Structure 1
Amino acid sequence: MTQIGKPPGDDALIRHGCDAAPCPTSARPWVLAAAIIGSSMAFIDGTVVNVALPAIQRDLQATAFQAQWVVESYALFLAALLLVGGSLGDLFGRRRIFALGVVVFALASVGCALAASVQQLIAARAVQGIGGALLVPGSLSLISSNFEEKERGRAIGTWSGASGITAAIGPVLGGFLVDHYSWIWAFLINVPMALAVLWIVWRHVPESRGSAAGSKLDAGGALLATAALGGIVYAFIEAPTQGWRSGAVLAALAIGVVASLLFVAVERRVRAPMLPLNLLRIGNFGGANLLTLLLYAALGGGLYFLPLNLIQVQGYSATVAGAALLPFILIMFALSGWAGQLVDRFGPRLPLVVGPSIAAVGFALFALPGVGVNYWTAFFPAVVVLGFGMTVTVAPLTTTVMNSVGPEAAGVASGVNNAVSRAASVLAIAVFGVVMAAVFDAVLAEGLEQAGASAQASAFLEEQRSRLAGADMPQGIDAATAASLKGAVAGAFVAGFRWVMLICAGLALLSALSAWVMIGRGPDRQGVSVVSRP
């Protein structure tokens, strides 16, 4: 659930991504079908895997930090290579790169299903992320390159509606498959979808290229972005088990920091940068992306732990956990049209201050429930408030990004904002994992002491602490002792979950503050060019 529905900027990427190439009228419904099914593969995968994580952790005997890598290996490559994936379509053909992404994604999904160890699953998920980086921008560019501007509105509406349905049913379907069959089917469900997309692409989708054909690809920027994200993420995920003084952790952190600095230097000099840094000098654009970084770090990082809480602590089934965020999705779907008019009525600043502030209240409400609570009284109010806050935010955020630059930079601007939201989630999951581990360890030690756990039981759970709420219980203990120890483990996880959610609330408030300080009341276009340097 780290990526709930569409990230910001998707609709804008379609609307402003490129000029339409000649496309037969009879082929356009097929193009739209390919884009919908293709993007649905990524949407479903982004929500289903989190619901399946507890089952994956149990079956593969994985630690909580290895389970983090199952999510992070995919999200890292997707975030780092997303902008490059769009450029590859312009250079070598959008149809070709989109189809290649579908093939890679499907084969990697089969690899995930066949994984016999968590290490194999992490590797397959990384390949799946590379496929996603080709697939996701490709699905959007198919619409923008085959529908003329006057027809894109209807196409976007159809695509958005289908995406909303996908976002709603994806986690529930994934939970049902986990409960009644196996987590393996959460990955294999991609295969028939991929075959359908490839058949449509082969028979009905015309090829198109962008005006950037023949220009130089920013491969250096892509490699440095991957190294920067990968190094920092590795350090934060592995620090709780290896320690901050570990050579591997320190080396990874150093690689991440140095790669980040080199990335900025390269993007200043390269002929066709994947991230035009001059865009960030625009007040509204810089403010909107800082808001995106903070708010989507809270959203992606915080909601990563929600299914783990619901399944491993509260005892919900995977299906029920998958349905837990349905109100969030339905609110965004039902009120998206209303939210899209807020900038026209009030300007960009007010909704981008109010929306994240409401979302902060939603995150704070997530910090209230304890162990063994009822969904409707404990989690439902938080889901509703958070959903309303994000609804007030997302459409005005996309509009602000688009209005802050000229039409010639609209596609690049929306792509950057889209990538920022994904990178924020990647970094936040890693950082929040450190917070969760520190609180869990401290509270668990205290809880075991209060429960009067024996030295043997305490030593056993000390070895199990890397599994967090998925820890096994010692063998040979009576039911009362087992219940007491399980209560200590569950209480420790809830304590960590509360800290994470309170940090999320703080990040949401900081995002509102960034909007108040950096975003003006009206458009802030400065005519910044993103044309490749000669």
Structure 2
Amino acid sequence: MSTKEVEWDGIPVPRRYWAILAIAMGITVSVLDGTIANVALPSIAGDLDATPSMSIWIVNAYQLAIVVSLLSLSSLGDIWGYKRVYIAGLLIFSVTSLVCALSTSLTQLTVARVFQGFGAAALASVNTTLIRIIYPRRFLGRGLGINALVVAVSAAGGPTIAAGILSIASWPWLFAINVPIVIVALILSCKFLPSNPVKDSGRTFDWKSGIMNALTFGLLIFSIEGFTHDMNWKVLLPMIAAVFVIGYFFVRRQLSQTYPLLPVDLLRIPIFSLSVGTSICSFVAQMLAMVSLPFFLQHTLGKSEVATGILLTPWPLATMIAAPLAGKLIERVHAGLLGGIGLSIFAGGLFLLAVLADKVSGVGIALFMVMCGFGFGLFQTPNNSILISFAPQNRSGSASGMLGMSRLTGQTTGASLVALMFVMFPVDGTYASLYLAGIFAFVAAVVSFTRVSLPEPELLRGNAKKKS
């Protein structure tokens, strides 16, 4: 194996701006498509003669495809090149988006969503790695701040954007609108994205690990979904057993690999593993809140759909302010401290919503939403900076994949926990979800503060030295 080391410190402007725009456009549509179809499920089910329960697969197929392929595609990025994987993802996403829009049956739409998920996974697997090689070392936090902003706003704004599209067009346009956006992103990517500055010529993809990874995480998601939807225990228990058995052999195989698909080598670094844990907890909290809040505002507080949309809007707007701000602060403040402060604000906003939302005016609710969005945005950028900066440059794809897996695992778990809260607390399920979200955010804040005693990555420390 030969590794070609290259001194690399970003690409110059204005090429850098066009490159980050290409990434932002691709990530926006891929994250949006994880939630944008939710609003239209009743209409889609009616048009395609499908039952409501079967129509859920339009959403689940997309998420499942991402989960089972993300780490494998991250590894392929390290081997084949991050730019190649990203462009391949854009091509797959554009074609499958068009197929989704033209689908005339639930089966056709579901299959198209599976392949669309593979395209989205390719984009998510290398996007933060590309930012690492696009931005100079001293400005890495700013680049990751922009990326965190795009992901957070896209995830939170999906239902609102879907409602806007459906107010003037039918459900196929939810998918068709992706095509021109992705074509522009594809043109920009081909012209402005840099190739890998480091490549391992002797490294090959571990297909056995790829299959074991897909089975482990795929069965895990199926088990979580089955538990929250009262799946027969005769089916659920063998599935859970299979997760542990396959997962055991998967992890055991990774421990013996030079370049493990699941980056166990990076997870041995305390601050890296703690950052993965805080990321999962933060997205569990976010999804608990974002799924339960519409029910809370409409059913518990009696708000209309329009009022609900207006009251939810301050969350992504606050994130838009906090994420880039955190990207600049990370150059001076320890990432663990900055993340802990952000998570504390996030937890405070969630608890205030649970305790006081039915006692204050709409302005008060909006302020609590601002706290949630600002705190979440303030946490994500420094946390992502740790995850990406600690990996050697030829392992950046693995770190990027782990970042994406943390988000997906947290979001999937959070959505399932909302369903569980509604089953356990039929009357107060929305309150229970918000309290549980606050607990997850608080625990993550405590863990984040413990990272202050641990050394930051050399890359971030180098930024601080340059600024001092």
TM-score with structure 1 setting the length: 0.70
Question: How does 1:289-308 map onto structure 2 within 5 Å?
Answer: 289-307=276-294
User: Is 2:283 the counterpart of 1:283?
Assistant: no
Shift of 1:387: 1.5
Question: Partner of 1:129: helix, strand, or coil?
Answer: helix
Check if 1:98 corresponds to 2:31: no
Gaps of 5+ in 1: 1-17, 444-491, 528-534
For 2:448, the equivalent position in structure 1 comes to 515
CA offset at residue 40 of structure 1?
2.5
Q: CA deviation at 1:268?
A: 0.8
Q: Provide the C-alpha distance between the structure 1 equivalents of 2:445 and 2:169, rounded to a whole number of angstroms.
A: 43
Partners of 2:144 and 2:230 lie apart in 1 by 47
Letter in 2 for 1:355: G
- Counterpart Cα distance in 1 of 2:386 and 2:147: 22
1:168-198 Cα distance to aligned partner (Å, 9 max, x none)? 8765432211223223211111111223333
Encode CA deviations 1:273-315: one digit per residue, 9 max, x unaligned: 1222132232222222222222212213442344466678857
Aligned letter for 2:413?
Answer: L
Distance change (3 Å), C-alpha of 1:505 and 1:146: closer
Change (3 A) 1:496 1:90: same
Are 2:433 and 1:504 equivalent residues in the alignment?
no
Per the alignment, residue 4 of structure 1 pairs with: none
- Match of 2:222? 234
Tell me the equivalent position of 1:9.
Answer: none
1:394 aligns with 2:326: no
2:209 equivalent among 215, 221, 235: 221
What is the total number of aligned residue pairs between the two structures? Answer: 453
Q: Which moved more, 1:277-286 or 1:341-350?
A: 341-350
Question: Partner letter of residue 416 of structure 1?
Answer: M
Unmatched runs of 5 consecutive residues or more in structure 2: 1-5, 460-468
More off after superposition, 497-506 vs 344-353? 344-353
For 2:315, the aligned partner's letter is: F
Residues 13-24 of structure 1 aligned to structure 2 (within 5 Å): none
- TM superposition shift of 1:438: 4.2
The answer for the alignment partner of 1:434 in structure 2 is 420
Cα 1:504–1:174 shift into 2, 3 Å: same
Partner residue, 2:95: 107
- Distance verdict in 2 for CA 1:522–1:175, change over 3 Å: same
Q: CA deviation at 1:215?
A: 0.9
Query: Distance in 2 between the 1:58 and 1:307 partners?
Result: 23
- Measured at CA, do residues 316 and 123 of structure 1 come closer, stay the same or move farther in structure 2, by a change above 3 Å? farther
Structure with max Cα Rg: 1
Cα distance in 1, alignment partners of residues 354 and 50 from structure 2: 26
Alpha-carbon distance, 1:105 to partner: 1.4
Contact 1:79 1:419 in 2 (8 A): yes
How far did residue 258 of structure 1 move?
2.3
SS at match of 2:203: coil
RMSD across aligned C-alpha pairs, in angstroms?
4.2
In the alignment, is residue 383 of structure 1 matched against residue 316 of structure 2?
no
Deviation at 1:264, TM superposition (A): 1.3
Q: Give yes or no for contact 1:19–1:145 (8 Å, CA) kept in 2.
A: no
Secondary structure of 1:273 counterpart? coil
Distance in 1, Cα, partners of 2:134 & 2:458: 30
Letter in 2 for 1:92: W
- Residue 213 of structure 2 aligns to a residue whose secondary structure is helix
1:393/1:431 CA distance change after superposition, 3 Å: same
TM-score by length of 2: 0.78
- Structure 1 residue identity aligned to 2:415: I
- Residue 177 of structure 2, aligned match among 189, 193, 201: 189
Identity %: 25
Cα displacement string for residues 44-69 of structure 1 (whole angstroms, at most 9, x for unaligned residues): 32453344456556766877765654
